[in-house]
Structures are given as C-alpha cells and as structure tokens.
Structure 1
Amino acid sequence: MFSWKPWTVEDSRLKYLGLVEALEADLRQGLVKPGDRLPPQRAIAEALGIDVTTVTRAFNEARRRGLVEANAGRGSFVRAAPEIAAASADRPVDLSMNIPPQPAGAALQRRIPEAIAGILSAPQGMLRLHYQQSEGSAPDRAAGAAWLAERLGSLAPDRVIVAGGAQSALFAICSALLKPGEALAAGRLTYPGFKAVAAQLNLPLVGLAIDENGIVPEDFERVCHERSPRALYVIPAIDNPTTATLPEGRRREIAEIARRHSVAIIEDDPYSCLREQVVPTFAEIAGDITWHIATLSKCLTPALRIAYTVAPDAGGAMRLAGILRATSLMAPPLMAALAARWIADGTAREVTDAVRHESAERQKLAATALGTATFFADPNGHHLWLKLPDHWRAEEFAAEADRSGIAIVPSGAFSISGDPERAVRVSLGVAPDRAALERGLTLLARLLERPSYAARVVV
C-alpha cells in the first residue's frame, strides 16, 4: 500500500523537478510522512504518462535533497530533509486564527497570479485598477448572486452588495439597523469581531442561552419580551466558536419569534459551503427580515477580502452601499474581479472542495491526536471547541499552551456575559501542514493531563 499519490508541479522549469517539488510540497503539508513507501518508478511513470528516465532523475534529485532513501530489495521510502524536519520541530504552532487550510492541490500560488494576469490582459481589464461603485459593479453583483444561488436559490442581483470582507459588511449592517444604545442579541458565546462592532457602535449585547444545537428559541423569546432587541446576530452553521449548527426546525422557530417581535436577523454564514448537509438559511426562511453575509475568506482564502451581502430588498442594499461608501468606499476591485472570474470558470467550487476535503482530514487527525478529550466539531469545519477538565481554567490553559509554543483562544474572548466556561477554541486550518497540526494537538492532549498552576503545591 502506497500513501503517496504522484503528481507534478506543472509550472516547474523542468519536468523531473516538478515531480520532486510535488513530493516536497506533500511532505511539508503532512500528506506523506517519513517512512512512507513510495510507488515503484515504473508505476509513477505510467500514472503520470511520462518516461521512466524522468522519474529516475526525479528520484535521484529527491535523494540528493534528503527527501527519499532507497533500501535494496524493499524500494524507496520518504524521509524528512534535515531543514524541513528542523524547521518543523522548532516552529511555534498557531492554532488560534480561524482560517481555511491551504491545501497544495488548490494551487493558489499559481492560480491567483494567473487569474489576475488574465483579468488585466482582457479588453478594458485595466479598468479593474480604477475606483468602482460602493455596491460593486453589475458583473460582480451578478457573480455574487450566482455564487449564492446554490444555497439561497434565485436572487435578484440588485439585492446583493459586494463588500470588502464580512467585518466591513457587519459594521455596515449594524450601523443601518441600530442606533447607539439599542440592544443587539446573540448567543452568549459569539464571534469576537461581532463583539468589536457592537462596542464601536455602542450597542449593548444581550447573551442568549445556547446548547449543542445553538441558540435556544425559548430564551430568545424571553429576551425579546424583556429587552426588546432590534436585531439578532447568528452564525447558523458551524458556529464560531461552539461549532453548533442550528437545525431547520429551530431556525424556523427563531425566525417566527423574530418576525413576531420585529427583530431583524443578521445571518453571518461563512461556513455553510463547507457542510455536506444542506439546511435552509434564514435568508430563505425569512428573507424579508434577514441580512445575509457570505464571505469567501473562509471557503477560499483570507486574502480574498470579498463578502457577498444580501439585503431584504434593493432599497436596503443601497442603504448599505451608502454606509460602505463612508467607511470603506468599496471592495477591492481586483479581488472582486478575481472572485467573479473564479465563480464563472468553476475555480471557486474546486478550491472550496479542496478546502473541505483538507478540513475533513484535519478533523480526523484531531480526533485521533486528542484521544479521550471532550470536544465539539463539525466533520468539515476549520475549528473545534475543546472542553477542559475541572482543574483547568480557560485563560490558564491558553497561557500554558502559549508557553509550550501553541497558540489557542480561551473562551473569554467569545463570552458576552463575562462568565467564560472551561473551554478553548482550537483552529485547525492555520497550521502549515498536517505534521505541524499533529504536533500541536499532541502537545495540547498532554497539557490537558497536567495539573494547572492553581492546583500545584504552594509553600
């Protein structure tokens, strides 16, 4: 059984070097590990449609770089080059930033410059370097409607705004819907970026009870009676940080409560595109009161600062555009054009599929590395919610992890009530490869078993 599936880096200057660079990339990504047996040279040649002599040259170069070792009668095996092994062993592991993994198969380092070159070389392509309308150009808004149609159904492009990222869209929506001092409801553990928007706009947050399925409708009803919030903020799928996904029945119940109490719904939905099970969005269930945000940063790359934002109607969309004009002026035109191009030619779907697959593999790795630890996760999500044993407080555990070279986020960063629970968010996508991720998770598993400083003897 061979763990490595041969491929080549197409833009390498020499064909045999493309094979070596592919193996090196997979080793850095953790897709192959030292000790893995490589397929026979002839099998690789047949699989790739190249000469055996080309494969032989590649193996010789791989041996020279320290990537491969040969054993007489047994074949060739992967070994870590000293510089790769040393760099991996000494490098801190960041498990704090909730970004998608960047799998080698997505080939973003090739696709991004190629797409930009194609855009600029097209007729009138240089116009993409000029200022654009704050709501986005007509082609870009149509691309957003096309991208969202898979989950939201047919959309009129005049309801879609192209914003420079979800944070920009969230600020604009809250500015449009609420005045300073008006209450804004959300789960008692919620996205820190949303907390920052509320603080900046002087909007008091009201934390709602949550369980393994997300916001509890009965508590939302209670808060509507007692605090009269003007809007509800919700991440409906793979919640950040708890990973909960609201079931359809609960979404409909929450939407009905919101409608009854004249509460607008702000649906921040970066992760639905990663899930295999489709659940109707609030934008489908209650489109007349829902403001839907769909960023590309969580399914493609954070470098693509584009968020398609759907207003209840065209008038609402133009209100948003007016606020965006005052705060960020416009989304980056070149990035908006790149997003539209990728949506049209299928690249956006291909990269999302690659990210989903890599996220699933990392979740499997996490389940193995963390062993008997208690945590919540979605099979295709970028993060997990790790519950801590009673002897650890979240802040202490995160600080101890940081001293060990692992960055994670304690529950206090997400808490609205100021009463954090014993849990931390562990993000799986930011680690450069699976080997680094496994190293970080293994250290976390060991830390869970250690006594905290508070539990140690003081004399």
Structure 2
Amino acid sequence: MTTWQPDLTAYNGPRYLAIADALSDDIRQQRVAPGTRLPTHRDLAFRLGVTVGTVTRAYAEAERRGLIGGEVGRGTFVRDDVRRRTEMPLDREAKVKAGEFIDLSVNFPTPRANDSLLAKALMDIAHRPGITSLLDYHHHVGLPRHRAAGAEWLGFQRYHVAPDRVIVTAGGQHAMTAALGAITEPGDVVLAESLTYPGLRRLADFLRIRLHGIHMDEEGVDPDAFEQACMTMRPKAFYCVANMHNPTGMIFSVARRRALAEIARKYGVKIVEDDVYGFLLGTRDIPPLSAFAPELGHYFTSVSKSMAPGLRVGYLAIPEGALDSFAQVVRSTTWMAAPLTAEIATDWVEDGTGMDLAEAHRIEAIARQRLARRILGNTQFCSDEASYHTWIKLPEPWTSDSFALEARMRGVGISPATIFALNRNSPNGVRLCLCAPADRHLLETALIRLAEILQDQPNSNFGIV
C-alpha cells in the first residue's frame, strides 16, 4: 500500500473534490503510478485530518472519473489504463470545459418539483402553530406523523407495515447504513448481486464487512448460486435491488423473489432490500422480495428519485420488535433525519403531491427509454421500459472499459461494468443514466454520440492494459 498523501493547500471547494482533483493531478504528473494501491479510507482520513466519509466520497468521485478501481478484499488501486484517462486531447478537453460534456454516469432524476410547489409547502408549514418544534431534537426514529407517512409511502410501493416499524432516515444511503450497521459486525459476509450498487461497496469498506457477488440470469439472482453461498459462506445478510436493478434496470420475477425469500428463511439470512425505484412499477402488482419473508426483511426506499433528492428523506421498515438496535445506529450517524424536510415529504405524501411527482418521473423515464431504443437501434438492452437507467450489452471487440473511455473522449460520461462488479469476470456492458440530463435534447445528443461509437471499431491506442 502506498503512502500517498496529497497536498490540498492549493485546492478550493469541498474536501472530497479536492482529494479527487489532487489524485488526478498526481497521476497526470506521474507522482502516482498505474497499479498503485491507495491508502485505506481510515488511514488517509487520519493523515489528512478529515472524516472517513470525506475520503469515501473522494474515492467514489475518483472511481466515477475512471481513475481508480477496487476489488473486494484487496483494496483500491489506480487503474492500469489511467494515463489515457488523464491525458485527454486538448480539443476534446476544451469541449468538456465548454459545457458540451453530457454526464450519463449519475443516476439523477429529472427535476420535477418547481419553485411554486416548494413555496406552497413552506408557506403551509409556516402557518402552523408551534413550527419551531421542527428545529428541536426528536426521537431518532422520527416523529409519529412522519413515520405514519413513511408507512403510507411504503404501502404505495406495495410493502405494507405499521408505522411503529418505520424509521425515518436521511435518505436511502442512510437507510442502508442503518440496516447493515444494525445487523452486521466487522468480518460478516453479505451477499449481493454480482453487479451491484457501488454505494454498497463503499459502505462495506466503512463497516468492514465482506461482500460476495451472486450470479444473475434474466429473472434475477440465481437461486442455486444463492443457496450454495448460504450453505458455504454463512452470510449475515443479502442485499438486493429487485426493482429496476442497478445497474441492469431489470425486474426480478415474482417466482424468483419467492424462491430467494424461501432460501433466506431456510438459512436465516436477513434481507436488505433497496427499493428506491419501486415507484416506477406504476400499476404493476409486483410485491417486494421482503414481503415473502417479512420477519427477515429490512426494506427501504427514499423520496430522492420519486420526489426531490434535496429533501434527504428515506424510510426503513424493519421486523417487529427490532427498533432499539436500529435507533442506536441512526443516533450514531445523524441522530435523526431533519424534521423540517421530513415535514415537507409528509405533506406531499398526504396530499398526493408525492404520487403526482412520482408518476411524472415514471412517464418521463418511459419516454427516455423509448428515445434510447430508437437512437441506439439494434443494441442489446437489458432494462425495464420505465427504468431511470439502461444497460447495454456491447458488441465485440468493444470492452466496457474501452467503450466508456471512448465515450468520455467524445463528451459523454457512462459507467462501465467494472464499477459495479463484485467478482473478477464482469459482463461486457455499460450503464446509461437516461434521466440525468436536464432535457431530452441533451440526452438525444449524448445517445447519438454513443450510436456513432457503436458503429466504430475500438481505437487500438486506447486498449485496456
């Protein structure tokens, strides 16, 4: 492991961006070589005098830029092909700086909440008696009315629980932290899809838990592979995204959900189900995987994708009688979710605004999926028609890394399979976040550029080492 320690004195702005920028500069100036193993999150945080969370965000940003990669159990390394990624030709670098770079690598929702909607919500709250109580400390699991709204929203996503089993969290990532933080200890094994949400990998590093990827097929996680892992690895939990799976955008079949729940029950494996995209199902009656084994289910969602990400409100449903351990994790991380933004989310759940916003997002996602299929033509897609993102299987001789690099050189950011892979042999595909551009014209421009790349052959000068 290297003793790399950046000098941040010349960098302004958030510290996590300063660390990522410093790493990029050190690579470009050959102070850090390809293949270098970077310090652990805790080690670098201690040496820089920042929080572990800051380093985690910095490494995630560097990974998003294609500078580093990680393998579970081995650490974080500077990518072998990183020289090419930091030596963008000047004309294309000018295009990026001129604002022509279109980022499809981040799964942001298209903005839907507007000034008047937020102004009305704040005005309604302002006229209520005792509103200053929203600025006080409250119980870690949230105010009773906010928890009831959370139960209602979870019911909208087909997971029906009583309010006393709901914890209000500071977004979906915090809900995942609370769930895994309460049910695991350092060294525990957690199973997940072989391609999984990168935030889980960062959290696993933070909690010092071990991840193991399970093979997937066209219906979801392979039950035979899941049972084999349960028998041989004695995992503590199973994390999954069964609706609009990240990164593939697929939906687990109902039969597959039932089979996985039965196996989890057989071996006592707790389920941590991330359903931040569940609202995109619309009227389709597909129960969450946790509904088939509620005594094991730790089911969460947030309003970030469905209403507005700046609210930072999530809802975690836990098994009966388990509240105290989860409340302690919330206390240790944020003390409580912000009551003021939870009040806005509660109002929007109760008056139907939340459902209206969610439906508008779903309709927009469908329109963008259709646009992608029209422009990319015969490309092999693996995503639901309402997913925010799509997964495309690349034709030979393209690899996911070389395609992502070429796309970046042409002004489009996308995510290669290696960012999501828990195992060494990742499939040859890339994720496109279709809802990230502010309007469809920008998305269309990005998709046309990608279609042009698909018609070309990889540039041998940009082969992956």
TM over 0.5: yes
> Residues 298 and 319 of structure 2 are in contact (CA less than 8 Å); yes or no, is this contact kept in structure 1?
yes
- CA distances 1:79-123 after superposition (whole Å, capped 9, x unpaired): xxxxxxx99x95321111112222xxx442321232123212311
Matched, 1:288 2:295: yes
Q: How does 1:138-287 map to 2 (within 5 A)?
A: 138-152=144-158, 154-276=160-282, 277-287=284-294
CA distance in 1, matches of 2:205, 2:319: 25
Show the counterpart of 1:307.
314
Following superposition, the deviation at residue 421 of structure 1 comes to: 2.1
> Residues 241 and 384 of structure 1 are in contact (CA less than 8 Å); yes or no, is this contact kept in structure 2?
yes
Matched, 1:346 2:352: yes
Matched, 1:360 2:369: no
Show the counterpart of 2:438.
432
Amino acid at match of 2:130: Q
CA distance in 2, matches of 1:456, 1:188: 27
3-state DSSP of counterpart to 1:377: coil
Q: How does 1:410-429 map to 2 (within 5 A)?
A: 410-429=416-435
> Residues 159 and 288 of structure 2 are in contact (CA less than 8 Å); yes or no, is this contact kept in structure 1?
no
> Residues 295 and 307 of structure 1 are in contact (CA less than 8 Å); yes or no, is this contact kept in structure 2?
yes
Following superposition, the deviation at residue 372 of structure 1 comes to: 1.3
- CA distances 1:99-148 after superposition (whole Å, capped 9, x unpaired): 2222xxx4423212321232123111222223322100111001111112
Matched, 1:92 2:98: no
Show the counterpart of 1:409.
415
Show the counterpart of 2:31.
none
> Residues 152 and 283 of structure 1 are in contact (CA less than 8 Å); yes or no, is this contact kept in structure 2?
no
Amino acid at match of 2:290: A
Call closer, same or farther: CA 1:397–1:440 in 2, change over 3 Å.
same
CA distance in 1, matches of 2:159, 2:260: 21
Call closer, same or farther: CA 1:138–1:90 in 2, change over 3 Å.
closer
RMSD, matched Cα: 2.0
CA distance in 2, matches of 1:272, 1:456: 39
Match of 1:333 among 329, 339, 342: 339
Show the counterpart of 1:453.
459
Call closer, same or farther: CA 1:415–1:107 in 2, change over 3 Å.
closer
Following superposition, the deviation at residue 196 of structure 1 comes to: 1.0
Amino acid at match of 1:361: A
Following superposition, the deviation at residue 449 of structure 1 comes to: 1.7
> Residues 149 and 155 of structure 1 are in contact (CA less than 8 Å); yes or no, is this contact kept in structure 2?
yes
Following superposition, the deviation at residue 456 of structure 1 comes to: 8.3
Matched, 1:129 2:135: yes
3-state DSSP of counterpart to 1:139: helix
Structure 2 segments unaligned to the other structure (5+ residues): 1-94
CA distance in 1, matches of 2:270, 2:331: 23
- CA distances 1:165-217 after superposition (whole Å, capped 9, x unpaired): 11111112111111111111011100001111112111111110101211011
Identity of aligned residues (%): 36
Q: Give the TM-score normalised by the residue count of structure 1.
A: 0.77
> Residues 394 and 423 of structure 1 are in contact (CA less than 8 Å); yes or no, is this contact kept in structure 2?
yes
Q: Give the TM-score normalised by the residue count of structure 2.
A: 0.76
Q: How does 1:26-45 map to 2 (within 5 A)?
A: none
> Residues 170 and 313 of structure 2 are in contact (CA less than 8 Å); yes or no, is this contact kept in structure 1?
yes
Matched, 1:101 2:110: yes
Following superposition, the deviation at residue 455 of structure 1 comes to: 7.6
Following superposition, the deviation at residue 452 of structure 1 comes to: 1.2
CA distance in 1, matches of 2:143, 2:152: 14
Show the counterpart of 2:327.
321
Call closer, same or farther: CA 1:226–1:333 in 2, change over 3 Å.
same
> Residues 183 and 230 of structure 1 are in contact (CA less than 8 Å); yes or no, is this contact kept in structure 2?
yes
3-state DSSP of counterpart to 1:184: strand
Match of 1:120 among 86, 109, 126: 126
Call closer, same or farther: CA 1:154–1:398 in 2, change over 3 Å.
closer
> Residues 109 and 435 of structure 2 are in contact (CA less than 8 Å); yes or no, is this contact kept in structure 1?
yes
Show the counterpart of 1:16.
none
Show the counterpart of 1:5.
none
- CA distances 1:16-64 after superposition (whole Å, capped 9, x unpaired): xxxxxxxxxxxxxxxxxxxxxxxxxxxxxxxxxxxxxxxxxxxxxxxxx
Alignment coverage as a number of residue pairs: 368
CA distance in 1, matches of 2:105, 2:147: 33
CA distance in 1, matches of 2:128, 2:236: 46
> Residues 166 and 306 of structure 1 are in contact (CA less than 8 Å); yes or no, is this contact kept in structure 2?
yes
> Residues 195 and 247 of structure 2 are in contact (CA less than 8 Å); yes or no, is this contact kept in structure 1?
yes
List structure 1 runs of 4+ shifted beyond 4 angstroms. Answer: none
CA distance in 2, matches of 1:269, 1:142: 18
> Residues 99 and 301 of structure 1 are in contact (CA less than 8 Å); yes or no, is this contact kept in structure 2?
no
CA distance in 2, matches of 1:215, 1:370: 27
Match of 2:390 among 376, 384, 389: 384
Show the counterpart of 1:373.
379
Larger Rg: 1
